[in-house]
A and B are shown apart, each in its own frame.
Chain A
Amino acid sequence: MKFEKHCLWALMALGAMLPFVVQDQYVLHIAIMVLFYAILATSLNLVVGYVGEFSLGHTAFLGTGAYAAALLSTQYGWPIWATIPTAGVLAAIMGFIVGGITLRLQGPFFVIVTLSFAEVLRLVADNWIALTNGPMGIAGIPQPELLKEASNLAAKQFYYAIVWALLALALYLSFRFVHSNAGRAAVAVRENRYVAQSIGIRPLSYSMLALVLGAMLSGMAGGFYAHYISFVGPEVFRFAFMISMIIMVLIGGKGTLVGPLIGALLVTFLEEYLREAKELRLSIFGLAVIAIVLFLPRGLMGFITQRREARSSAATSLQSTPAADGRPA
């Protein structure tokens, strides 16, 4: 827990320093996307990593947030300070509805029904032209007043600050959730549903809490995305988004708070770097995913914690005094 906390502080501090060091727009854009994906991966991790149910419908919340922010700012002229939290609240409500229906199911059924929800929303966004403008999407989402005069670089820095703050919020809430009684109860459900039930934990309420929290965070990320890209179309519900998120969580290591951050960093960079390989890009990406499942089943963080545990247990057995337990190795 301490190691995790230190890692989070260090990563966020590094993130905070970045815009002062880097003055390049392209690098800042990549950094913004990394932080954006880190929020999504963190929010997905709450469900996949701590409740242990494999949700493939997280784009439903992302898309709800993005469309909410886009509509509120284009139709009603709401400023960005209002749209992002509202997007979060609406996505949380959506999470409550979806969770109420899906969380009673487990295993493959849960996987497919969550996926169905995302697909239904995508088709609604595609067909409800009066509201969503159909496949054309909503373009020209207004930029904040503040940025009217600002240069492109300053705009990037502004958005970087917002996404950094959102990620900090996401990590803070996740940390508080994971290390609370509710979080421990959720982990108990993940490890063994029947045992958890037998000691009085109601699986539905804790998994619902995690899902609603995750939905709210990804809805806020969606709201941010709408403003930053200034265009929202039905693609936000696409399965491709979902694939990126899942791969990030699993590469980094599900059930750890640091893992999704590292996953987001790795995948975003991998996708950018593989651009050089042009058409081969996605084929290589597919192979990389297969290799990770086979050779790194617990993700990078899982691998590192395993090493640390092995080291510290080796150290304690060397000293062979019970007092050495608990001291950081």
Chain B
Amino acid sequence: MELLPQYLANGLVTGSFYALSALGLTLILGLMRVVNFAHGELYMLGGVMGWWATTRLGLDFFTGLLLVAVVMAAFGWLVDRLLIERIRDQGEEPGILLTIGLSIFLANTALLVVGTAPLKVEAPLSAGPVFFGDIVLTKLRLFAMGVCAVLIFAAWLLIHKTRLGRAMRATFQDPMAAQLAGVRTANVYAATFAMGTVIASMAGMLLGSIYSAQVSIGGLVSMKAFVVVILGGMGSFAGAICGGLLLGVVEALWGGYVATGSVDIIGFALVILTLVFRPYGLFSKRAERA
């Protein structure tokens, strides 16, 4: 039992990372209703580009992060305008297939370019330990949690306090009415997808500095992100954060007390149980849409 606080702390740290890596998917899956199987690959691209920017270009971490954000925003915008736009409002199947195709393409092309080896993103500060009583964490992880919080808050502000955010909320409530009111919905969709892409890639770079950036990580990240988004309820930021923290803590406890080998089952078991008892997610207020 004396390890319990440490497990909880580890779980919360991992959980906040899960929340961050799922945040982009909350926008794309939760609001745009695109079941984005390329989410993990967007995350991976962020990590790989972060590695390239910090080690090859010699930029410092934050300039690199900015560069990644700008490039990935343009990429996300283009993907939406060139690909996703053509299959909008056709149900989820074309979207699933399209993003599966995109993820196969991105993962294997990245594999050709940078290879399979784990890539280390230069971290902005050293990995020294920090002690809180009995609990040990590293500075880097605390820093990453801080950045998570800032990113999540910034995304929330963007959606709730800006003109673009208002247009987004209007569009996802009723595209037709939004269009009638003069919202350029095509741009709003593209902006949302770009925003999801940026958040995913920033998460990839940030976590790439703690673990490492790997080309083959995409599938795993997509799965965890789906779990978090479903747990939290579609399209809700607070839900994604709670879902991420819940998943992190439960996984840490399961790994600590039961078995480490089967930790990955937890997420899927949670999803199945959640959908059996609360079919629209733990924190969702959404009613069935006809």
Residues of A108-152 whose CB lies within 8 A of B:
108-109, 111-113, 115-117, 119-120, 123-124, 126-127
Tally of contact residues, B, Cβ under 8 A: 45
CA distance A247 to B227 in the complex (A): 24
Residues of A within 8 A of B108 (CB): 279, 281-283, 286
Are B262 and A123 closer than 8 Å at their CB atoms? Answer: yes
The residue that A289 contacts in the complex, of B86, B100, B106, with Cβ under 8 A, is B100
Residues of B within 8 A of A112 (CB): 35, 226, 230, 271
> In the complex, what residue of chain B is closest to A281 when comparing beta carbons?
B108
Chain B nearest CB, measured from A267 CB (Å): 13
User: Given A127-B261, A289-B104, do A120 and B272 touch, yes or no (CB 8 Å)?
Assistant: yes
Answer whether residue A329 sits at the interface, using C-beta atoms and an 8 A cutoff.
no
CA distance A123 to B101 in the complex (A): 25
Are B268 and A116 closer than 8 Å at their CB atoms? Answer: yes
CA distance A283 to B98 in the complex (A): 14
Answer whether residue A1 sits at the interface, using C-beta atoms and an 8 A cutoff.
no
Which of A76-84, A86-94, A290-298, A317-325 lies on the face that meets chain B?
A290-298
CA distance A107 to B90 in the complex (A): 12
Are A293 and B94 closer than 8 Å at their CB atoms? Answer: yes
Are B93 and A54 closer than 8 Å at their CB atoms? Answer: yes
Are A290 and B98 closer than 8 Å at their CB atoms? Answer: yes
Are A113 and B271 closer than 8 Å at their CB atoms? Answer: yes
Answer whether residue A101 sits at the interface, using C-beta atoms and an 8 A cutoff.
yes
B179-190 toward A: CB 8 Å interface, digit per residue (1/0)?
Answer: 000000000000
CA distance A105 to B288 in the complex (A): 11
Are B261 and A116 closer than 8 Å at their CB atoms? Answer: no
Are A109 and B275 closer than 8 Å at their CB atoms? Answer: yes
Are B262 and A287 closer than 8 Å at their CB atoms? Answer: no
Are A123 and B276 closer than 8 Å at their CB atoms? Answer: no
Answer whether residue A194 sits at the interface, using C-beta atoms and an 8 A cutoff.
yes
Answer whether residue A308 sits at the interface, using C-beta atoms and an 8 A cutoff.
no
CA distance A294 to B94 in the complex (A): 8
Residues of B within 8 A of A22 (CB): none
Answer whether residue A66 sits at the interface, using C-beta atoms and an 8 A cutoff.
no
Chain B interface mostly: helix
CA distance A116 to B274 in the complex (A): 12
Answer whether residue A301 sits at the interface, using C-beta atoms and an 8 A cutoff.
no
Answer whether residue B14 sits at the interface, using C-beta atoms and an 8 A cutoff.
no
Answer whether residue B287 sits at the interface, using C-beta atoms and an 8 A cutoff.
no
CA distance A283 to B87 in the complex (A): 22
Residues of B50-84 whose CB lies within 8 A of A:
83
Residues of B within 8 A of A283 (CB): 104-105, 108-109, 112
> In the complex, what residue of chain A is closest to B275 when comparing beta carbons?
A113
Answer whether residue B264 sits at the interface, using C-beta atoms and an 8 A cutoff.
yes
CA distance A105 to B273 in the complex (A): 13
Residues of B within 8 A of A56 (CB): 96
> In the complex, what residue of chain A is closest to B87 when comparing beta carbons?
A293
Chain B nearest CB, measured from A116 CB (Å): 4
Answer whether residue A154 sits at the interface, using C-beta atoms and an 8 A cutoff.
no
Chain B nearest CB, measured from A312 CB (Å): 26
User: Given A112-B230, A113-B272, do A289 and B35 touch, yes or no (CB 8 Å)?
Assistant: no
Are B35 and A111 closer than 8 Å at their CB atoms? Answer: yes
Answer whether residue A239 sits at the interface, using C-beta atoms and an 8 A cutoff.
yes
User: Given A112-B271, A120-B272, A246-B97, do A107 and B92 touch, yes or no (CB 8 Å)?
Assistant: yes
Q: Which of B98, B269, B271 has the most CB of A within 10 A?
A: B271
Chain A nearest CB, measured from B78 CB (Å): 13
Answer whether residue B223 sits at the interface, using C-beta atoms and an 8 A cutoff.
yes
Chain A nearest CB, measured from B279 CB (Å): 6
Are B102 and A286 closer than 8 Å at their CB atoms? Answer: yes
Answer whether residue B282 sits at the interface, using C-beta atoms and an 8 A cutoff.
no
Residues of B within 8 A of A40 (CB): none
Are B226 and A115 closer than 8 Å at their CB atoms? Answer: yes
Are A108 and B103 closer than 8 Å at their CB atoms? Answer: no
Answer whether residue A250 sits at the interface, using C-beta atoms and an 8 A cutoff.
yes
The residue that B29 contacts in the complex, of A108, A290, A294, with Cβ under 8 A, is A108
CA distance A126 to B259 in the complex (A): 13
Are B104 and A119 closer than 8 Å at their CB atoms? Answer: no
User: Given A113-B272, A194-B290, A297-B94, do A290 and B265 touch, yes or no (CB 8 Å)?
Assistant: no
Residues of A206-242 whose CB lies within 8 A of B:
239
Answer whether residue A280 sits at the interface, using C-beta atoms and an 8 A cutoff.
yes
Answer whether residue B219 sits at the interface, using C-beta atoms and an 8 A cutoff.
yes
Are B101 and A290 closer than 8 Å at their CB atoms? Answer: yes
B230-241 toward A: CB 8 Å interface, digit per residue (1/0)?
Answer: 100010000000
Q: What are 29 A-B pairs at a CB distance below 8 A?
A: A54-B92, A54-B96, A101-B272, A102-B275, A107-B33, A108-B92, A108-B234, A111-B92, A112-B35, A112-B226, A112-B271, A113-B275, A119-B223, A120-B265, A120-B268, A123-B264, A123-B265, A123-B268, A127-B261, A127-B265, A250-B93, A282-B104, A286-B103, A286-B108, A290-B83, A290-B105, A292-B101, A294-B86, A297-B90
| Given A127-B262, A283-B104, 20 additional A-B pairs, CB 8 A | A101-B275, A108-B234, A109-B280, A111-B35, A112-B271, A116-B268, A116-B272, A119-B223, A126-B261, A243-B100, A281-B108, A282-B105, A286-B103, A286-B108, A289-B97, A289-B98, A290-B102, A293-B101, A294-B83, A294-B87
Task: Enumerate chain A interface residues (CB-CB to B < 8 A).
Answer: 48, 54, 56, 101-102, 104-105, 107-109, 111-113, 115-117, 119-120, 123-124, 126-127, 194, 239, 243, 246-247, 250, 279-283, 285-290, 292-294, 297
Task: Enumerate chain B interface residues (CB-CB to A < 8 A).
Answer: 29, 33, 35, 83, 86-87, 90, 92-94, 96-98, 100-109, 111-112, 219, 223, 226-227, 230, 234, 259, 261-262, 264-265, 268-269, 271-272, 275-276, 279-280, 290
Minimum-distance CB pairs A-B, first 6? A286-B105, A289-B101, A286-B104, A282-B108, A116-B268, A290-B101
